[in-house]
């Protein structure tokens, strides 16, 4: 439908140019025709909005804005130039038409990049409410800024819409590198509908975007993005990868522990101190529904590595889920060793791992490529963090999704197949993959945090 809309708008533009060239090309008639064409384009959009596929959401907001601004500008120009005489030059007609077409094309691009996606309908018994807050860590200076400001950690909450005083387990989520807090929106909704309070964190400057307390949009730090891409280069030294990974895990671990500590502090004091930045619509009652004796943490990619690290150091965490993240925090040191070929690269160093058994119930979920890398590492004798941790975890579960890429384990393929494919997807059905992932995670938390049912995980999903 968006293609048909585009064709109709281009027909209006081309028709305007043809009409202008077919009559006396006066400045007055040109401005009048431009204004009429602008109004027609807005009308065309509004007519199309009655049909499926065209709406006033994020996919078409830019286009609608451009069409309205164009129409207003041309109408004002017509009023100002209503007494204009003289002939309009052919070059001006051509340039104006081409520019108008370019703006229309720019406006309609999001409709091809993004899909109409509001998330699947949650299957639980509870309706889901949302709230947001920003926590200000007055003990940490923001390292990505030079103004001495403190580190801020935005949180999106998803929780059951209930009127009683029941309490529910807390699940804290950490997104991947240049991901964002809604990366697994359907999972948050599903968990909340089954009686969980989900707190999805943003890690500013690691996140694609988030807002700070001043209302400013904070985008991903260019150096972090460069480094995140750099470490995937086959020529990057392992020592550089190790140092960068430690920095990232440390920052995110501090973010997550600060968020959990702040929530637990509220539980002790029952008041929001100056750490909290909330608007007048924030529902304080949501915090009263958290069962602080039942805490689960989870993350995707670098967020999964963060969750594993936090689960290692916090005794109040009861269940951890790592979604396709290499457990970087378990890598203690890097030492020289005999050359060993692994996945086509010869390594003369080895990681040493934390030898203490992982103390908390841990569910590890991989995509197929990650799973195969772990198998290859075992085969050639290359120490690999996830293998070492899962082999010695006190309570560990391991599974993977066949035919899935890294981004299939988020909602991105359902929001924007175009972007997801660029970042890595497989041939698995995207919706089926996400639905299955959400049910696996729900089942795990139900068992560990609620003592409901017995968690049984398959070796592989998506075959």
pLDDT digits (tens, 9 = 90+) for 21-55: 666 566 677 777 778 888 888 887 787 777 766 76
3-state helix, strand, coil in the chain (%, to 5): 45, 20, 35
Q: For residues 264 and 172, what is the distance between their CA atoms, to the nearest angstrom?
A: 13
Question: Are 192 and 269 within one domain?
Answer: yes
Question: Are 355 and 395 within one domain?
Answer: yes
Question: Are 108 and 137 within one domain?
Answer: no
Q: With a cut of 60, say whether residue 66 has pLDDT above it.
A: yes
Q: Which neighbouring-strand residues pair with 133? A: 155
Cβ atoms of residues 152 and 212 within 8 Å = yes
- Indicate the average pLDDT of the chain: 89
Question: Are 334 and 262 within one domain?
Answer: yes
Q: Which neighbouring-strand residues pair with 350? A: 335
Asked which of 113, 139, 163 is the last residue of a domain, the reply is 113
* Helix/strand/coil for 407: helix
Work out the end-to-end distance of the chain between its first and last CA atoms, rounded to an integer number of angstroms.
Answer: 34
DSSP 8-state code for residue 409: G
Query: What's residue 14's pLDDT?
Result: 79
Q: Is 119 part of a structural domain of the chain?
A: no
125 versus 95: the higher-pLDDT residue is 125
Cβ atoms of residues 426 and 455 within 8 Å = no
Question: Are 30 and 140 within one domain?
Answer: no
Angle, nearest 10°, between helix axes 222-230 and 238-269? 130
Q: Is 375 part of a structural domain of the chain?
A: yes
Q: With a cut of 60, say whether residue 439 has pLDDT above it.
A: yes
Q: Is 328 part of a structural domain of the chain?
A: yes
- The two three-digit tokens of residue 38, written as one number: 């602008």
Strands 168-174 and 361-367: unpaired
Query: What's residue 105's pLDDT?
Result: 84
Domain ranges, residue 94? 2-113
**Residue 46 CA neighbour count, 13 Å, CB half:** 8
Number of CB atoms found within 10 A of residue 10's CB: 14
Q: Is 122 part of a structural domain of the chain?
A: no
DSSP 8-state code for residue 428: S
Q: For residues 403 and 433, what is the distance between their CA atoms, to the nearest angstrom?
A: 10
Nearest one of 191, 186, 189 to 170, comparing CA atoms:
191
Burial of 381 (0-12, 13-18, 19+ CB in 10 A): exposed
| Domain count of the fold of the chain | 2
pLDDT in tens, 179-210: 999 999 999 999 999 999 999 999 999 999 99
Query: What's residue 96's pLDDT?
Result: 76
Asked which of 82, 113, 144 is the last residue of a domain, the reply is 113
* Helix/strand/coil for 362: strand
Residues in contact with 57: Cβ distance below 8 Å, sequence separation at least 6, in sequence order: 116
Question: Are 84 and 170 within one domain?
Answer: no
Cβ atoms of residues 177 and 252 within 8 Å = no
**Is the Cα dihedral 422, 425, 431, 434 positive or negative?**
negative
Question: Are 109 and 133 within one domain?
Answer: no
Q: With a cut of 90, say whether residue 83 has pLDDT above it.
A: no
pLDDT band at 461 (very low <50, low <70, confident <90, very high): very high
pLDDT band at 234 (very low <50, low <70, confident <90, very high): confident
- The two three-digit tokens of residue 182, written as one number: 């809604």
- The two three-digit tokens of residue 249, written as one number: 């895990």
Question: Are 61 and 206 within one domain?
Answer: no
DSSP 8-state code for residue 26: B
Q: What CATH number is given to the structural domain containing 388?
A: 3.40.50.1820
Phi then psi for residue 214, to 5 deg, are: -85, 0
DSSP 8-state code for residue 116: -
**pLDDT above 90 coverage of the chain, percent:** 65
- The two three-digit tokens of residue 211, written as one number: 């807002």
Nearest one of 450, 368, 435, 425 to 401, comparing CA atoms:
368
**Total residue length of the chain:** 463
Cβ atoms of residues 461 and 436 within 8 Å = yes
Q: For residues 456 and 441, what is the distance between their CA atoms, to the nearest angstrom?
A: 11
Question: Are 188 and 255 within one domain?
Answer: yes
Cβ atoms of residues 441 and 321 within 8 Å = yes
Calculate mean pLDDT across residues 374-394.
Answer: 95
Q: With a cut of 80, say whether residue 416 has pLDDT above it.
A: yes
Q: Is 118 part of a structural domain of the chain?
A: no
pLDDT band at 370 (very low <50, low <70, confident <90, very high): very high
Q: Is 27 part of a structural domain of the chain?
A: yes
Calculate mean pLDDT across residues 64-91.
Answer: 72
Q: For residues 401 and 437, what is the distance between their CA atoms, to the nearest angstrom?
A: 9
pLDDT band at 81 (very low <50, low <70, confident <90, very high): low
* Helix/strand/coil for 211: strand
**Is the Cα dihedral 176, 178, 184, 189 positive or negative?**
positive
Q: Considering only 133-137, 230-234, 365-369, which range has the smallest mean pLDDT? A: 230-234
Query: What's residue 82's pLDDT?
Result: 57
Query: What's residue 280's pLDDT?
Result: 87
Q: Is 123 part of a structural domain of the chain?
A: no
Burial of 322 (0-12, 13-18, 19+ CB in 10 A): buried
Question: Are 354 and 265 within one domain?
Answer: yes
Burial of 346 (0-12, 13-18, 19+ CB in 10 A): exposed
Q: With a cut of 60, say whether residue 447 has pLDDT above it.
A: yes
Q: Is 183 part of a structural domain of the chain?
A: yes
Question: Are 160 and 92 within one domain?
Answer: no
pLDDT in tens, 336-346: 999 999 988 89
Q: Which neighbouring-strand residues pair with 340? A: 347
Q: Tell the residue number behind the tokens 């993005």, with chain if given.
A: 225
* Helix/strand/coil for 255: helix
Question: Are 92 and 168 within one domain?
Answer: no
Residues in contact with 217: Cβ distance below 8 Å, sequence separation at least 6, in sequence order: 209, 210, 211
Asked which of 113, 148, 166 is the last residue of a domain, the reply is 113
């Amino acid at each position: 439908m968006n293609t048909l809309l585009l064709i109709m708008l281009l027909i209006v533009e081309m028709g305007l140019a043809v009409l202008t060239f077919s009559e006396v090309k006066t400045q007055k008639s040109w401005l009048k025709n431009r204004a009429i064409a602008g109004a027609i384009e807005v009308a065309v959009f509004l007519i199309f909005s009655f049909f499926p596929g065209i709406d006033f959401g994020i996919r078409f907001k830019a286009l609608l804005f451009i069409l309205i601004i164009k129409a207003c500008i041309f109408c004002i120009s017509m009023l100002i130039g209503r007494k204009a005489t003289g002939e309009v030059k052919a070059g001006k007609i051509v340039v104006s038409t081409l520019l108008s077409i370019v703006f229309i094309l720019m406006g309609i691009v999001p409709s091809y990049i993004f899909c109409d996606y509001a998330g699947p309908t949650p299957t639980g018994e509870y309706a889901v409410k949302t709230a947001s807050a920003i926590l200000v860590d007055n003990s940490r200076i923001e390292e990505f800024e030079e103004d001495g400001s403190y580190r801020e950690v935005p949180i999106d909450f998803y929780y059951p819409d209930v009127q009683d005083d029941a309490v529910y387990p807390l699940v804290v989520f950490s997104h991947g590198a240049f991901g964002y807090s809604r990366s697994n929106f359907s999972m948050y909704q599903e968990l909340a509908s089954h009686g969980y309070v989900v707190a999805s964190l943003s890690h500013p400057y690691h996140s694609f975007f988030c807002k700070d307390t001043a209302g400013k949009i904070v985008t991903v730090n260019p150096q972090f993005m460069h480094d995140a891409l750099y470490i995937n280069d086959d020529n990057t030294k392992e020592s550089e990868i190790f140092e960068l990974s430690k920095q990232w895990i440390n920052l995110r671990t501090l973010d997550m522990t600060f968020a959990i500590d702040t929530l637990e502090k509220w539980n002790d004091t029952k008041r929001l101190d100056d750490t909290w930045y909330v608007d007048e619509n924030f529902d304080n009652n949501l915090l009263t529904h958290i069962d602080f004796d039942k805490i689960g943490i989870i993350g995707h990619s670098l967020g999964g590595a963060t969750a594993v690290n936090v689960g290692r150091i916090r005794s109040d965490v009861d269940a951890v889920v790592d979604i396709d993240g290499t457990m970087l925090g378990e890598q203690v040191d890097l030492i020289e060793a005999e050359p060993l070929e692994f996945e086509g690269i010869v390594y003369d160093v080895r990681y040493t791992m934390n030898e203490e058994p992982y103390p908390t119930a841990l569910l590890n979920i991989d995509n197929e490529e990650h799973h195969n890398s772990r198998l290859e590492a075992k085969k050639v004798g290359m120490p690999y963090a996830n293998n070492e941790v899962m082999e010695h975890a006190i309570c560990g579960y391991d599974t993977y999704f066949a035919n899935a890429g890294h981004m299939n384990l988020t909602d991105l393929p359902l929001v924007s197949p175009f972007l997801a494919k660029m970042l890595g997807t497989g041939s698995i059905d995207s919706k089926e993959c996400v639905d299955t992932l959400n049910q696996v995670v729900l089942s795990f938390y139900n068992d560990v945090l609620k003592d409901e049912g017995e968690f049984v995980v398959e070796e592989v999903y998506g075959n």
